[in-house]
Structure formats: structure tokens, C-alpha cells
Amino acid sequence: MISPIARQRSESERQQLIADLFHALNQPMTALRCALELELLREGRDEAQRETMQTALAKAEEIARLTGGLRELLQAEDPGDERSIQDLASLVRETMESFSPVAEGANIELVLQCNSPCPVCAELERLRQALFYLTDWVIGATQEGGQMHVATQAKAGKAVLTLAISRCGVPNQESPKLPDQKTEDLWRRLNLAIARGILESAGGCLRTENDGAGLSFQVRFPLARRAR
């Protein structure tokens, strides 16, 4: 049977290997992008050559973005070494404030009920990242003119965050999606998976309910006790 210390050491080595692999991958990708950008600046290229190089540069940037997303997804499994007590309600209010211009531009009404403290144990930046990705997904699924209700409460030993929308964007299954739309859908799925991974690695859980008329996400964390 593997001891907890040996298991922790093995996981630490695995995380370091993943970080080293992505770092090694990032170096040639950065060099490729720089080389393409420099070539585009050189004179004497005809229009066809420039279009080909611009396409190659766009693909290189897309690959770099996807590998970065994969790295975040794998890192989401790690709860982090700097966990401390955070007020979930305060972080949710902070996140909603940053998304307020986005919601206003899409004519989405944000309704917040996040007044009572909800202490949870998590790494601050990871929890912020999870809340950002989750909120971005939910706002993206809200139709123009819809409402997004956000509430936190301490209940039965749990810190509970609920994000509910009254009008969901329903994709048209009959019309084929453009490549850009497919890529954007993939990114939304990836960001939601990253948020779920971060929340679950910190001891929380994420549940989804869709009754056809509305969609809701519920995040539950064990309430943390502050040291006296």
C-alpha cells in the first residue's frame, strides 16, 4: 500500500513534469510565432504569400491558446499549496462587479444576494479563476434581455453559491456551426471544465439543473472555521 507521503511526492513529481512539458512546448511555439511575424514584416511578399503566412500565424496562435487551456485543465486538479480561508460571498461580489459591463452590454440584468459571509478554504487565485470561468459561461448562456440571479448563503454547514438564469440561449441544431463558433463552444466547455476541476480539487462540488425554462448552477463548499 502506498503511503500518503509517497503518494503526495508522486503527485508533486507528476505536476512538475506536466509543467516542464508545457514549458518545453511553449518555447518552440513562441519561436514559430515570432518567426512568422518577422516574415510578414519583410518587404517583397506578394499578396498570396502574405495570406498564407497570416493563416499560419493564426493557426500557431490558436495552438498556443489551446495548449495553454490544456495546461490549466490539468493544473485544476491540484488544490494548491497556499490554501487559506476566503469569503466566498466577497469574491462572488468582486467577480460580478468585473462582469457588470459585459452584462450591461448584453442587456442582462444581474440580481445579487451575497450579503452574509461564507468562509471557505481554498487558494485565492484559483478560486477567483473558477468563479470567473463559471460566471463567463453562465452569462454566455443567457439570452439578451434575460436575468441572472446570483446568491450565496451559509446553510447546514455548507457555503452555497447559486447562479440561475431565466432565459437560456438555445443553439439551433439544424443550422451548421461556423468554424469560429465551434472553436468558441470548445473554449466555453474547456473553461467550465477548468472551473469544475478547481472547485472539486478544493473540496467543493458543482451541480447543474436545466428545466427547459431556466438553467442553474449550484456550488457547495464545506464551511471553514476561522481560528480564534
Blockwise average pLDDT, block size 10, the chain, 228 residues:
61 69 77 80 76 82 82 79 90 95 92 91 93 92 89 92 76 46 79 92 89 83 75
Say what the pLDDT of residue 116 is. 86
pTM to 2 decimals? 0.74
Torsion of CA 82, 86, 92, 98, to 10 degrees: -50
CA angle 82, 84, 86 (to 5 degrees): 130
Say what the pLDDT of residue 120 is. 94
Closest Cα to residue 153, out of 121, 115, 209, 125? 115
Say what the pLDDT of residue 11 is. 59
Say what the pLDDT of residue 170 is. 46
